[in-house]
A = this chain, B = another copy of it.
Amino acid sequence: MRRSSPDETSLAWMKLENLAPLVARGDVSPVDLVGLAARRIERLNPRLNAFLALSLESARRQALGAERELRSGKRRGPLHGIPISLKDNIWTRGIPTTAGSRLLERFVPDEDATVARRLRRAGAIVIGKTNLHEFAYGVTSENPHYGAVRNPWDTRHMTGGSSGGSAASLAAGIAWGSIGSDTGGSVRIPPSLCGVVGSKPTFGRVSCYGVLPLSVSLDHVGPMATSITAAAWLLSAIAGRDRRDPATLAAPNPPGDFAHSLRRPLGRLRIGLPREHFFDAVSPDVAASVEAAARVIERLGAKIQEISLPETGPSVEAAAEIAFAEARHYHQSAGYFPARATEYGEDVRRLLERGGEIRAADYLADIDRMRQARRDWNRMIEGFDALLVPATPIAAPVLGRKTVEIDGREETVRAALLRLCRPANFTGAPALVLPCGFTREGLPIGLQLIGPLWSEERLLRIGYAYEQATDWHNRHPENI
């Protein structure tokens, strides 16, 4: 690393928007960034258990290539030479892709997922595959085969899931971006619990090709990062039609650059606060932080207004039933379940068993409701540019906890973490999570913005204005 370059610790915590220009100018070398990531993994991963597989050798080779390209004047964009991590249910050619399962422990794809291919083409460098809830089917990332992912803010606590390792790799300053999948909140719950940014795009915006399916009607793939700008850049790289994922064929083409309007002021935007359902049974510190965020956004020029929405319960239940049935279908068709039921962790096995009980007629009725909800969504929030709600009703629970008590009411950790995220999987609406505070115990609190279909750019703009006006995203876990 050059004399004039920042020291390792400041580099590790540097936001991508500050790092990318240094790489572009040659002040920081991609090879050194890979080396830095490798050292941090070596030091931190034993505590965090964030990575299942490393690809540091190929990362170094790619970094050398990225340097050569830069020296010859070729820059692929803001991700050029930037180390990122990928959730381990995303196919990576030549790199094991276990999906956190025993069943796939020896699976090495001979093809990249579309998002992996697009990121490589954009110059990003994959340093490793992140730990996750087994088969992405759960929200704690307590993996029975590879161990639980631990929260960098307090390693006694969970990261949430299923993209727990991705969030930990960001919160620990190891990678500058990551990609996760989200069927019921998996790219939003871990960012909420780990104090980073997660963006679940509109259904059909990002190809799911090569990402191990959980529930094809509800699966989304989206970026995670330590800043809004980084998330926007990652999303720009992966978004757009892909003939190998028919759901993307409905996406606007071209998808656009999601970062180009981040600095536009918020004046005239109208943001809805659905106090009835999204703020019920939310822990007091979470509610207070989200309400405070609303006041910040109001001061930035947006108009905050209460909005009355129908109950979320029925759509959460229908989404759960769809996921049960489709997950069972995938695992059954693949020949994994029930044939190899003993090779699953107990919780996932139970969910797959339950999936076998769903009747086709009920499933089809749920699908009808989902399609109707997707048709109705924009009209339901008509006149609003976004909804502002908590991402999760609680901060990160202690590892091993099965239930939590909120407002004196006991709820499973699973239900609590899913309930505010699932509606956006059902409607297909874009949703952005970013840090908005800390609990008294010092655990992050996440804010969620949910918008009309295809409104990612506007959500990122609101997120960016909030991020610039606050300091939450600049805090880092101690001892890391």
Residues of A within 8 A of B (CB): 324-326, 328-329, 332-333, 355-365, 368
Contact A365 B333 (CB under 8 A): yes
Contact B358 A361, beta carbon cutoff 8 Å? yes
A325–B359 CA distance with the chains assembled, in angstroms: 8
Could you tell me the distance between the alpha carbons of A361 and B329 in the complex, rounded to whole angstroms? 4
The distance from the CB of A362 to the nearest CB of chain B, in whole angstroms, is 7
Contact status A332-B363, CB under 8 Å: no
Complex contact B368–A328 (CB within 8 A): no
Question: Smallest Cβ distance from A333 to chain B, in angstroms?
Answer: 6
Contact between A325 and B361 (Cβ–Cβ < 8 Å)? yes
What 3 A-B pairs come out closest when comparing CB atoms? A325-B360, A360-B363, A329-B364
Taking A324-B360, A355-B360, A359-B360 as known contacts, 9 extra A-B pairs with beta carbons closer than 8 A to each other, sorted by chain A number, are: A325-B360, A325-B364, A326-B360, A326-B364, A329-B364, A329-B365, A332-B365, A360-B363, A363-B363
* A328 partner, pick from B329, B332, B358, B360, beta carbons under 8 A: B360
A317 to chain B, nearest CB (A): 15
Closest to A367 in B: B329
18 A–B contacts from the bound complex (CB under 8 Å): A325-B361, A326-B364, A328-B361, A329-B360, A329-B361, A329-B364, A332-B361, A333-B364, A333-B365, A333-B368, A355-B360, A355-B361, A357-B359, A358-B361, A359-B359, A359-B360, A363-B363, A363-B364
* Option from B329, B356, B360, B368 in Cβ contact (under 8 Å) with A358: B360
A333-B368, A368-B333 known; A362 vs B361 contact (CB < 8 Å): no
User: Which residues on the B side are within 8 Å of A356 (C-beta)?
Assistant: 359, 361
Which residues of chain B are within 8 angstroms of A332 by Cβ–Cβ distance?
A: 361, 365
Complex: chain B residue closest to A357, CB-CB: B359
Residues of B within 8 A of A364 (CB): 325-326, 329, 333, 363
A314 nearest CB across to chain B (Å): 15
A3 to B191, CA, bound (A): 88
Closest to A363 in B: B360
Q: How far is the CA of A287 from the CA of B355 in the complex (A)?
A: 46
Contact between A362 and B365 (Cβ–Cβ < 8 Å)? no
By a CB distance below 8 angstroms, the chain B residues around A357 are: 359
Most chain B beta-carbon neighbours within 10 Å: one of A325, A329, A359, A361: A361
Question: Which of chain B's residues has its CB closest to A368's CB?
Answer: B333
The CA-CA distance from A305 to B410 in the complex, in Å, is 71
Shortest beta-carbon distance, A407 to chain B, in Å?
34
How many angstroms between the C-alpha atoms of A33 and B163 in the bound complex?
71
Measured CB to CB, the nearest residue on chain B to A365 is: B333
How long is the Cα–Cα vector from A333 to B329 in the complex, in angstroms? Answer: 23
| Residues of B with C-beta under 8 A to A362 | 360
Q: How far is the CA of A348 from the CA of B30 in the complex (A)?
A: 68
> How far is the CB of A13 from the nearest CB of chain B, in Å?
46
Considering the complex, give the chain B residue whose CB is closest to the CB of A358. Answer: B360
Complex interface: chain B residues within 8 A of A328 (CB): 360-361
Bound CA span A324–B361, Å: 9
CB distance from A370 to the nearest CB of B (A): 13
Complex alpha-carbon distance, A355 and B328, angstroms: 19
Chain B residues near A358 (CB-CB < 8 A):
359-361
Of A333, A355, A364, most buried by chain B (CB within 10 Å of CB) is A364
Residue of B nearest to A321 (CB): B360
Contacts of A368 in B (CB 8 A): 333
A319 to chain B, nearest CB (A): 14
